[in-house]
Structures are given as structure tokens and as C-alpha cells.
Amino acid sequence: KRKRKEKGKRKRCWISGCGLFRWKRESDCSLKMAAEKQRRVIFLDVDGVLVSSRCLTFDYEDTDETLYHPDPRFTYMAPLEIYALNSLKTIVSSMEGVEICISSTWRIESELMNYLSRAFRAYGLDKYVVGCTPTLSFGRGDEIREWLIKEAQKTEKGTIVGFVVIDDAHVESINHSLPKGHFVQTLLKGGGVELAKE
């Protein structure tokens, strides 16, 4: 009699560094991380991170050279703190495999994203951007979790070995949906991404 070919068992496999699981065939669970690209993802908010409170309240001069200013035609857009852009550049260039995923609500508005893209190109950050989180009704933490789970299935792009969420708000959602130790909360007053270097 012809033996039936056994189907590979399926088990939950750990997504290294992320504290999340994915379903995968048991025979595939030993990931050869040394041979794969190791991805480290920054989930980036904008308001409260690259944009401080003075930018939102227009407490600055149009000639302020510490700010990256938007096109004057778009008066509703807030400038970006240049020191925050430089800090972000230091972080992403300090190790290999760092990627930026935009989790801010800015991702929903095309004009805001175009403005952010121009700023990123000016500071050499554009090459690190890999996309945006999906828009869900469950909160930012779930949006980030959904992105991580889907990206973990794209093994041809490498293995996600770590991530950090840089945000000034959404504390409850992020802490509820994601494992501890991956959230850096900034202050709207000062903005900045210095703490994420750790």
C-alpha cells in the first residue's frame, strides 16, 4: 500500500525580539538568522516626537533655523524639530537593519506624508522608511501588532529581531497589545527621540 504523505505539523513560532507568535510549519521553525537580514523596526509617531508643543502652538518665528519648515502655502502644517530629525538619523545609522514604519496619523493625509517625505529626504532618512501601519479601529497598539505579524511572514525580507515604538501618547493601547519593554514615550513639550537610542 502507498503510504500517505504526512503533512508537516504546524506550531507557534516565536518572532525573535518581538514577543509575538506566528504559525509556521515545524520543519521551518529553526530560522537561520545569521544568514538572513536582521530587521529592527522603529514605529514612529510624529506629533510629540518630531513635532513639539511650540510647533503646534505656533510659538516660533518663521526664520527659526532650528526648525524644518513646511511650504508656506500649507499654513496648517507644523514645522519639525531639526534636533529630533538628527537624533533619529543617529539612531537608524548606528546599526544595520534599522527600518522606520510610520505609525502616526500623519500617514492618513497625503499632503502631510509628502511633507514628511521631503524632510526625510533632506536628512537622509527616506531610505529607511518601509511603510506605514494599517488603519484599524482598535487602536495604535493593535495597528502595530498587525503590521508586525504580517511582516514576519515575509521571510524573504529578513527576520524581525526587535522593534521600538516611539510615541507621546496611546499608552494604554500600546501596553495592552504589545509586550513590555518596546515603548519609548516622549513628551509633547520637548518632542525628541533621544531615549530610543537605548
Per-residue pLDDT reduced to its tens digit, 142-178: 999 999 999 999 989 999 999 999 999 999 999 999 9
17: cell is 525580539
Over residues 11-21, mean pLDDT? 51
Contact 165, 100 (CB under 8 A): no
Contact 173, 140 (CB under 8 A): yes
3-state DSSP assignment of residue 39: strand
Banded model confidence at residue 20, pLDDT cuts 50, 70, 90 = low
Res 188: pLDDT: 79
- Give the separation between CA 160 and CA 145, rounded to whole angstroms: 13
Res 127: pLDDT: 98
Res 136: pLDDT: 93
Q: Between 43 and 198, name the one with better pLDDT.
A: 43
190: cell is 520637548
pLDDT over 90 at 15, yes or no? no
CATH classification for the domain delimited by 10-197, as one of 3.20.20, 1.10.3470, 3.40.50, 2.40.10: 3.40.50
Q: Between 28 and 20, name the one with better pLDDT.
A: 20
Res 198: pLDDT: 52
